[in-house]
Amino acid sequence: MVGVSFIKILFMHPILLYEGCKQHPGADCISNGWTNGNRVFDCAGTLYIGDYTGGQQVSKTFSCLPDRKLIFSFTIAKFDSWDWEFVSVYRDNLLLGQISYGPYQGEQVCRLSYFPEIFEKKSFSFSSPIGKNSFQLLLEDNLQAHDEESWGFRDIKLQILNPCVDFYSECNFQGDLWRICAGNQTLFAKFVPFKIKSINILKGIRVQMKDNRFKGGNLQTYSSNQTCLDDFNFPKYQKEL
Ligand SMILES: *[C@@H]1O[C@H](CO)[C@@H](O)[C@H](O)[C@H]1NC(C)=O
Ligand SMILES: *[C@@H]1O[C@H](CO)[C@@H](O)[C@H](O)[C@H]1NC(C)=O
């Protein structure tokens, strides 16, 4: 009798790839790694990256496998008297959406002007570019003047809806690569192309493996990178005679 051999991939939905400027009041907002993002604005004790006006851009490059589905979200802060100008959100040169407000929308929170503030969570869905391993996210405004109107942002998140798990034939993510990009599935031994020595596992994904010749046949569950596994040689699938 040969035991059932399989690899099972389970993941929570969606997986967090990046988060920034999440804390209160916002120590992580001050040095946040965004290009042109090295300043903060204190609005009633909460720090926002910004503030910006007059056509400014803030951007950051992310590594990601091609053609993955992602969600980019953040809280936008509208300060003072916007007159339906907007902040545009781009992935590379692709416009993902625009955020626009009028002068009397919101309520007075921190600026000493007559005009109110708004804080609102926004999210944008998109795909990572095909044939590239990175992309840039960019926010740009078309506001007019600092004493009248500006914006900032915080609670930034980048999430992936369809992550991949990479299996390698050698330790330390070397050798041949076998990539599985569909979640929550069971793969039987006959589909596993080689002996698995290392696995690249994003936070939030669990990989389970079971084979009667591996770890005494007990189900093994991994939820972080495995840089060098004991030999895990799935038996070649054989049809019963
Ligand atoms: C995958 O399965 C896990 C555990 O059963 C569940 O919590 C999760 O939501 C599932 N993910 C997807 C994308 O269906
Ligand atoms: C897992 O390995 C990959 C590839 O070397 C690396 O980019 C990633 O940061 C590692 N993750 C953790 C949590 O160490």
Give the domains, in start order, of the chain with CATH numbers. Answer: 20-160 (2.60.120.260)
- Taking the CA of 201 as reference, the closest ligand is 2
Is residue 145 classed exposed, middle or buried when 0-12, 13-18 and 19+ CB atoms within 10 A define those classes?
exposed
Q: Is the CB of 163 under 6 A from ligand 1?
A: no
Cα(179) to centroid(ligand 1), Å: 19
DSSP state of 226: B
Q: What whole-number distance in Å separates Cα of residue 238 and Cα of residue 241?
A: 9
At 27 the pLDDT is: 95
Q: What whole-number distance in Å separates Cα of residue 150 and Cα of residue 146?
A: 6
At 234 the pLDDT is: 62
What digits encode the pLDDT tens for the residues 2-32? 567 888 999 888 899 999 999 999 999 998 9
How many Cα atoms occupy the beta-carbon half-sphere of 7 within 13 Å?
Answer: 26
- Are the C-beta atoms of 41 and 48 separated by less than 8 Å? yes
What digits encode the pLDDT tens for the residues 126-162? 999 999 999 999 999 999 876 679 999 999 999 999 8
Q: Percentage of the chain surpassing pLDDT 90?
A: 72
Q: Which helix (H) or strand (E) holds 75?
A: strand 69-80
Q: What is the mean pLDDT of the chain?
A: 90
Task: Say whether pLDDT at 48 is over 90.
Answer: yes
Atom from ligand 1 closest to the CA of residue 14? 13
Q: Is the CB of 10 under 6 A from ligand 1?
A: yes
| Maximum CA extent, the chain | 84
Q: Percentage of the chain surpassing pLDDT 70?
A: 93
| Residue minimizing CA distance to atom 1 of ligand 2 | 225
What digits encode the pLDDT tens for the residues 207-237? 998 888 888 889 999 999 999 998 776 655 4
- Are the C-beta atoms of 82 and 113 separated by less than 8 Å? no
What digits encode the pLDDT tens for the residues 64-102? 999 999 999 999 999 999 999 999 999 999 999 999 999
At 239 the pLDDT is: 40
At 79 the pLDDT is: 94
User: Cα–chain-centroid distance for residue 139?
Assistant: 17
Q: Which residues lie with the beta carbon below 6 Å from any ligand 2 atom?
A: 173, 200, 224-225
Q: Is the CB of 12 under 6 A from ligand 1?
A: yes
Question: Of 180 and 184, which is predicted with more confidence?
Answer: 180
Give the confidence band of 241 by pLDDT, cuts at 50, 70, 90: very low
Q: What is the pTM of this model?
A: 0.85
At 1 the pLDDT is: 41
